[in-house]
Amino acid sequence: MRAAVYHETGSPDVFRYEEVPDPTPGRHEIRIAVEAVSIEGGDTLNRLGGAMTSPPHVVGYQAAGTVVEVGEAVTSFAVGDRAVTVAPDGSHAEQRVAGETFSWKIPDGVDLMDAAIVPVAYGTAHDCLFEFGGLQEGQTVLVHAGAGGVGVGAIQMAARAGARVLATASSDERLERLVELGLDHGINYRTHDFVAEARRLTDGRGVDLVVDSVGGETLQRSLEALGYRGRVVSVGDAGRGPKEPLDVSAMRQSNQSFVGYFLGAELASGTRAHAMVAGLIDDVGAGRLRAVIDRTFRLEEAAEAHAYIESRQALGRVVLVP
């Protein structure tokens, strides 16, 4: 099979389009012929400097396609089923394998391209808001990186739950496009201090919840945006800044909470998160949530796709098509 690979980590131009061996599923795994690759934020970070299983490395968490082989212990998939899959790597290829418990059957009537972007981004957004963030109707949430995959999912779900939604992004134009998804107030972090704006928009009280996928200095300042009994859920380091010590001492006086979150751990720990993601796929298929895809690239254009994501122009997900 053909795949977008790299032999060393670095900038997007490390990608090469090469022939590599077909993957073989284990007893509890399925193999799909890939039809859509959702490029996740972690994919770009891994390409930049993450671990490589072995060169040439095939990066990528998430891909959807048609099942072409199932392991002998698999019970919920059959050859010919449509599936969206998550695994530590291997998505940027014509074929990939993934565990049965990290895969979802795409129901009839649900567009495969839409389903391809749901599990990681929308599943993460849902858990950060509700399972771990405890968001309630009438509360105010601040979503960092509102134009990213997790951001566009979180904005829609928070608005649907009756929350007031604030979000940050790098331009007024991107923020304006988020209004139709349910954004109440956008904050351009290049031109405004997001802490000051969050406090101004809440009459000085602060927000009830921050969903922070940026990390670094932004994560520290997110604590300053919280109101009484506010919560921060940290879900990533998309800001690519150096890791900094986090001072949480000021949180005690306002009974605030800090939570770290990783969807993979939830999927591995039981059935709740798997069912939650399945419900989100159904929501997208029924039009209750929108799958937001900014652009598609050919698989051999992986370098261009990653560069486009890192230019911070995209809104929603960027997809590769073999």
| Structural domains of the chain ordered from first start | 2-117+291-321 (3.90.180.10), 121-264 (3.40.50.720)
| Rounded Cα–Cα distance for residues 181 and 233 (Å) | 21
What would the two tokens of residue 120 be?
Answer: 């990681």
Q: How confident is the model over 229-247, as pLDDT tens digits?
A: 999 999 988 766 667 788 9
Residue 131 is classified by DSSP as I
Q: How confident is the model over 80-108, as pLDDT tens digits?
A: 999 999 999 999 999 999 999 999 999 99
| Rounded Cα–Cα distance for residues 44 and 238 (Å) | 9
> What is the tally of helices (H) and strands (E) in the chain?
10, 15
Closest by Cα among 257, 63, 235 to 143: 235
| Rounded Cα–Cα distance for residues 129 and 60 (Å) | 25
Q: Return the sign of the alpha-carbon dihedral for residues 196, 197, 202, 203.
A: positive
Cis check for the bond before 242: say yes or no (omega within 30 of 0): no
| Rounded Cα–Cα distance for residues 105 and 118 (Å) | 12
How distant, in Å, are the alpha carbons of 60, 259, 266, 308 from that of 34?
Answer: 12, 34, 25, 22
Q: What is the pLDDT along the chain (322 residues), one digit of tens a residue?
A: 999 999 999 999 999 999 999 999 999 999 999 999 999 999 999 999 999 988 899 999 999 999 999 999 999 999 999 999 999 999 999 999 999 999 999 999 999 999 999 999 999 999 999 999 999 999 999 999 999 999 999 999 999 999 999 999 999 999 999 999 999 999 999 999 999 999 999 999 999 999 999 999 999 999 999 999 999 999 988 766 667 788 999 999 999 999 999 999 999 998 999 999 999 999 999 999 999 999 999 999 999 999 999 999 999 999 999 9
* 121-132 exposure pattern, b = at least 16 Cβ within 10 A, e = fewer: bbbbbbbbbbbb
What would the two tokens of residue 35 be?
Answer: 């039809």
